Chains A and B, each alone.
Chain A
Amino acid sequence: QVRLVQSGSEVRKPGASVKVSCKTSGYIFGDYGLAWVRQAPGQGLQWMGWISGYNSRTTYAQNFQGRVTMDTDTSTSTAYLELRSLRSDDTAVYFCARAFPIATAGSFDYWGQGTLVTVSS
């Protein structure tokens, strides 16, 4: 079965960086994209961008350009999200999600369990 398993909770100080992992299994990694979506406490969902499992091409939301890097390790079918220059309003649960179709990655059919990132001094 398809599974996405994310790394555990993180606490960071303002200005620091965080890297979250998302290990996938149960499907051909290169046939799908991998998107990242975050949710601040009590708030809605915010798309951050996606990376192709086929060629590692990335598309980032404009709000995060310059602060975010997404990459993959195809040998372990794992995707990574790095967010830099953290601020208190980056406190959120970060989700990875399998994205289809591969060309546009607009729909998310399987999700990780979420990783809470807390930014606090």
Chain B
Amino acid sequence: DIQMTQAPSSLSASVGDRVTITCQASQDITYYLNWYQQKPGKAPKLLIYDASKLATEVPSRFSGSGSGTDFSFTISSLQPEDFATYYCQQYDSPRALTFGGGTKVDIK
């Protein structure tokens, strides 16, 4: 299976900060990468698909970039409702989709 390595595993930030999370694939996945947000006790929410496309009704402060093996996810100006855990997920291998380990973003 393709391994997805997310970094950092956690970070502390303040409202208004720019936050960047990275995700590295163990092999080339072209642009087959998604980003999700999950809040405690809730289902994940799709934010970014195909590495850089904003999902429906997702605010423009969220963005994604990258291709091949290296990807990044950025929140341009952190808002109070953005404190959550974020996961990357690859779908290059359709019989073995895998998620990264997650990045917990909490309040500094």
| A-binding residues in B (CB < 8 A) | 1, 32, 34, 36, 38, 43-46, 49-50, 55-56, 87, 89, 91, 94-102
Which residues 79-94 of A sit at the B interface, judged by CB distance below 8 A?
none
The answer to whether B44 touches A111, judged by C-beta atoms less than 8 angstroms apart, is yes
Separation in Å of the B45 CB from the closest CB of chain A?
A: 8
B99 touches A59 (CB 8 A): no
Q: Are B99 and A47 within 8 A (Cβ)?
A: yes
Give 11 new A-B contacts, CB below 8 A, not counting A106-B91, A107-B34.
A44-B99, A45-B44, A45-B87, A45-B89, A47-B99, A62-B1, A95-B43, A105-B94, A109-B46, A109-B56, A111-B45
Label chain A's interface by main secondary structure. strand
The distance in angstroms between the C-alpha atoms of A45 and B43, with both chains bound, is 10
Residues of A at the B interface (CB closer than 8 Å) are 35, 37, 44-47, 59, 61-62, 95, 97, 104-109, 111-114
12 residue pairs bridging A and B, Cβ less than 8 Å apart: A44-B87, A44-B100, A44-B101, A45-B38, A46-B99, A105-B94, A106-B34, A106-B97, A107-B91, A108-B34, A112-B43, A113-B43
Residues of chain B within 8 A (CB-CB) of A45 are 36, 38, 44, 87, 89, 99, 102
Please state if A59 and B94 are interface contacts (CB–CB under 8 Å). yes
Closest chain-B Cβ to A32's Cβ sits at a distance in Å of 13
Determine which residue in B55, B99, B101 has the highest number of CB atoms from chain A within 10 A of its CB, and name it.
B99
Which residue of A46, A61, A97, A104 is within 8 Å of B91 (Cβ)?
A104
Check B46 against A44 for contact (C-beta < 8 Å). Answer: no
**B98: A residues at CB distance < 8 A:** 47
**Would you call A111 and B43 a contact (CB within 8 A)?**
yes
A109: B residues at CB distance < 8 A: 46, 49, 55-56
Inter-chain contact B96/A62, CB cutoff 8 Å:
yes
Decide: A104 near B46, CB < 8 A? Known: A44-B102, A109-B56: no
The CA-CA distance from A44 to B97 in the complex, in Å, is 13
- The interface residues of chain B lying within 8 Å CB-to-CB of A114 are 43
- C-alpha spacing A97/B36, complex, angstroms: 13
**Given the complex, which residues of B lie within 8 Å of A59, measured CB to CB?**
94-95
